[in-house]
Structure 1
Amino acid sequence: MDENNKILVVEDEERIRRLLKMYLEREGYIVEEADDGYRGLELAIEEEYTLIILDLMLPGQDGIVVCKGIREKKATPIIMLTAKGEEANRIEGFEVGADDYIVKPFSPREVVLRVKALLRRSSSIPASNIEKVTKDILEFQHILIENDAHRVLAGGIEVGLTPKEYELLHFLATSPNKVFDREQLLKEVWKYEFFGDLRTVDTHVKRLREKLNKVSKDAAKMIVTVWGVGYKFEVADE
């Protein structure tokens, strides 16, 4: 079995866990399960997973606490499962580092499609294929983005970003000095119809800046707020 296709499902309803496990295993994924927040966080930290599906409402520790705990240690892609009336909680989930969410009740096929889409955007090119691929590199004075490897260097130091943080940075950096409003960023970076709060963008920009700032204040300053409009990736004229 390919250990690089291992998914953790953290969900207290056995019926939902079994359903997700069945559909994901049909697609060739290895699925491990946890039925409460404590066990989910323990497995997420101790083991290496390609992706984590995390329910918001869990016994022990809820999904927000678990997601925050994972993000303190790892950048594993996280899809959060939420009920219809939990929009405020979904926003909080994004704030602590979730990459995507799916509203219950859901189609298992939709989950599989979301998993594949998120993994396509976050996966690295296998080492054996690197010589066959033309490197997609964005190089600036303080930031280097290697898109083939989904790797970011700020001030020469690698920065650990979540898939969504990486996508946001890469999208902005591909159009230097162009201003994007929040609606544009939601549409382009989140890739599908998204009816959430525009604060989601602000939260991701904040987290991105904080991570860049830890290794290079100059790199962090390249993500510029255009008050009343949105954000841009600012590059000084040569």
Structure 2
Amino acid sequence: MDILLVEDDESIRDVLKSYFLNEGWNVKETGNGKNALQLIQDFKIDLVVLDLMIRGMQGEDVCGKIRQFSTVPIIMITSKVKETDTINGLNLGADDYITKPFRMKEVIARIHALKRRMDMFSSDKLNPITIKRFNRGRFVVNFTTKEVFVDGKKVDLTHTEFKVLNVLTNTPGKAYSRYDLTYEVHGYRNIDVGRTMDMHIRNIRSKIEADPKAPLYIVTKIGSGYKFEYQPDVQLS
């Protein structure tokens, strides 16, 4: 796996790089936001570990600009601990969020979990049916191209948002708690990031629902969690 490490604290960057190399991953590194954008465009990058407090350009701005041209998974690392900071990072398209101080084993475990999910969701074995249609064809998911269409219009989802929708549409009618859904998507359950999944659901609803406050597709089942309301009406292999 090719990782881009964006961290302007050299001591932290050196430690992270050492652990990443020990895992057998290739690492490109920088402490500058503008350089990070250039590296993503110049090289094949599988995952970005992005600190928010960096030189040249704030991490939030880097994340937002990456999402304008790439769906590469992004793990934010930051000393900002307010819930609003986490929500803002996820709104910009981050896939995961780790706060400082952190344990190196946790960072490595998060990356491994995200990598497993990346591999699983890119496997044709997960979705032998490559296209599913719901609500008389008004809602279409193409699992091969990772595209979603609502009423004939393409919906732009982040990597993680598509994975959330993937899980829900592959088991329509099944309700997932935020913790179970986090496990299915990220590979771990963590009570501290339970609300993170709520934010992903809110973002998806804002893109696929005509009225996000009265959703038709992803509904909340009180006491159980989230579920996809419609069963597939047409399946193409």
TM-score normalised by structure 1 residue count: 0.74
Alignment counterpart, residue 51 of structure 1, candidates 30, 38, 47: 47
Change in 2 beyond 3 A, CA 1:159/1:48? farther
Match of 1:32 in 2: 28
Q: Is the 1:36–1:59 Cα contact (8 Å) retained in structure 2?
A: yes
Change in 2 beyond 3 A, CA 1:157/1:29? farther
Change in 2 beyond 3 A, CA 1:165/1:195? same
Alignment counterpart, residue 190 of structure 2, candidates 181, 189, 193: 193
Deviation per CA, 1:151-179, whole angstroms, max 9, x where unpaired? Answer: 34537998664332122101211232345
Change in 2 beyond 3 A, CA 1:122/1:212? farther
Matches within 5 A, 1:141-160: 141=134, 142-146=139-143, 151-154=146-149
Query: Does 2:146 correspond to 1:139?
Result: no
TM-score normalised by structure 2 residue count: 0.75
Deviation per CA, 1:192-211, whole angstroms, max 9, x where unpaired? Answer: 2142473x445423443566
Q: Is the 1:87–1:196 Cα contact (8 Å) retained in structure 2?
A: no
Change in 2 beyond 3 A, CA 1:120/1:160? farther
Q: Which has the higher contact order (CA 8 A, sep 6+)?
A: 2
> Equivalents in 2 of 1:157, 1:180: separation in Å?
27
Deviation per CA, 1:23-43, whole angstroms, max 9, x where unpaired? Answer: 111222110111122222232
Shift of the alpha carbon at 1:54? Answer: 0.2
Residues matched between the structures, number: 221
> Equivalents in 1 of 2:21, 2:145: separation in Å?
26
> Equivalents in 2 of 1:150, 1:123: separation in Å?
15
Q: Which 5+ residue runs of structure 2 have no aligned equivalent? A: none
Tell me the C-alpha RMSD between the 2 structures. Answer: 3.4
Q: Which 5+ residue runs of structure 1 have no aligned equivalent? A: none
Change in 2 beyond 3 A, CA 1:51/1:183? closer
